[in-house]
Amino acid sequence: MTKKRRRFGKRNEVKIDLTQYNIGLIGESGIGKTTLIYEVCKKVAGEDGYIFLECGKEDGADAIQGIIYENVRDWDTFEEITDDIIDNKTEYYPDLKIVVIDTYDQLLEIAKPEVIRMHNSEYPDKPVKSIKAAFGGYMGGEDKATEIVLDRLWDLKEVGVRFIIVGHVKQKEQEDVATGQKFTTLTTNMSMRDFTAIKTKLHFLGVASIDREIVQENTGRKDSKTKKDIMKGVVTGESRKVTFRDDNYSIDSKSRFADIVPEIPLDADAFIKALEDAIKSEASKGSKSIEQLEKEQEQAELEKVKEIAKAEEEKKKQKEFNEVIDKITDYIKANKSDLDKVKPILEKCKEFGADNPTQLTDIKQAKEVLKIAR
């Protein structure tokens, strides 16, 4: 019988739910990034639908009443928290939709000691103390830090949890690839290598900044050489804004959605509306209505939750089984010179068609054998 050939390629349907996208917000220190994202999360995901991970030396959550957060001072803590979410998503975190990384550059910093540990474990004859020397040097250590961070974020995505990253900015001088001319841009304070690695994974990247109105006022004094009036700039007004698209490329923002509004006030409702409008504008280019897409996608999400729950249960059963087998094998190793203790275990295994405990496949049978080992 001829096997039917598979044809690759599937038609995408834009997800209407904002929580299905990877989002970034970078901005000046103290401008209100954490507060804005907190308010956005509450509105789109609900009180139990988000968690802030305050990484490294960040402590923005301290100033926000009611925020759900955890301090993440090192990689072990980050791994412990995310492992718990991944392993117990449907049981303990059924409503969780968003993990906020505040800030992403600090997450990379706490990943670096882990990379050094990984290198020294993998290459014990070539130990290193610096990230610069890890995994061959030449940015190999830094790239590994990005790799383990992104892998972990994608593990969260597999169980239905998306991420929002928060970061800081500074002005940088850059060079245009085509013309070679230099220009100043407001961009991340991270290395461009690290920033590009995460920026390419985001659907939306907003840049928060302060738009100041400055007028020149006469100081009433004259320049001693030119005899001209000495003027000074005075701020007459300022407003906080978020930029998603800058045609002058002076603000390093981004959107994968073509119809995003270029700029909005620094406001949670305006932020949500800008993203949702861009998503719906793109979705409306298809043959289905927004309402139809929402209904179908909600049903698909329910089915996915069932699959995740089933996978969780299987994983827990396998973990329990492995722990039982480990206890049996540990007992055998500890009593390998005492045949009277080991023989009954092997005989019980043979009753179940196995030559030794590692060949057992049923948890009930394994527990029966474990009773003898005790």
Name the token pair of 197: 């690695």
Residue 169: the pLDDT is 81
Domain 18-286, CATH number (from 3.40.50.300, 3.40.250.10, 3.30.365.10, 3.90.650.10): 3.40.50.300
Which helix (DSSP H) or strand (DSSP E) does residue 26 occupy? strand 23-27
Beta strand extents in 97-228 (DSSP E only): 98-102, 162-175, 182-188, 204-222
pLDDT string in tens for the chain (374-residue length): 567 777 898 889 999 999 999 999 999 888 999 999 999 999 999 999 999 999 998 888 888 999 999 999 999 999 999 999 999 999 999 999 999 999 899 999 999 999 999 999 999 999 999 999 999 988 999 999 999 999 999 999 999 999 999 998 876 666 666 666 665 676 777 788 888 899 999 999 999 988 755 556 666 677 777 777 666 655 554 688 999 988 766 778 889 999 999 999 999 999 999 999 999 999 999 999 999 999 999 999 999 999 999 999 999 999 999 999 999 999 999 998 888 899 999 999 999 999 999 999 999 999 999 998 87
Q: SS3 for 325-364, per residue?
A: HHHHHHHHHHCCCCHHHHHHHHHHHHHCCCCCHHHCCCHH
Residue 150: the pLDDT is 97
Contact 23, 207 (CB under 8 A): no
Residue 373: the pLDDT is 81
Residue 186: the pLDDT is 67
Taking alpha carbons only, the member of 177, 153, 170, 30 closest to residue 98 is 153
Residue 175: the pLDDT is 64
Distance of CA 133 to the CA centre of its chain: 26
Residue 361: the pLDDT is 92
- The pTM assigned to this predicted structure is 0.85
> pLDDT per residue over 91-124, tens digit each?
999 999 999 999 899 999 999 999 999 999 999 9
Contact 328, 368 (CB under 8 A): no
Residues with Cβ within 8 Å of residue 210, at least 6 apart in sequence: 28, 31, 238, 239, 240, 241
Residue 154: the pLDDT is 97
Give me the helix-helix angle, 290-334 and 363-373, nearest 10°. Answer: 30
Using omega within 30 degrees of 0 as the cis cutoff, is the peptide bond preceding 236 cis? no
Residues with Cβ within 8 Å of residue 129, at least 6 apart in sequence: 116
Residue 205 buriedness (CB in 10 A; 0-12 / 13-18 / 19+): buried
> pLDDT per residue over 171-221, tens digit each?
666 666 666 666 567 677 778 888 889 999 999 999 998 875 555 666 667
Residue 346: the pLDDT is 92
Looking at beta carbons, which pairs linking 263-271 to residues 24 or more positions away fall under 8 Å? 265/239, 265/240, 265/241, 266/31, 266/32, 266/36, 266/208, 266/240, 266/241, 266/242, 267/36, 268/36, 268/39, 268/40, 268/43, 269/43, 270/242, 271/36, 271/40, 271/206, 271/242
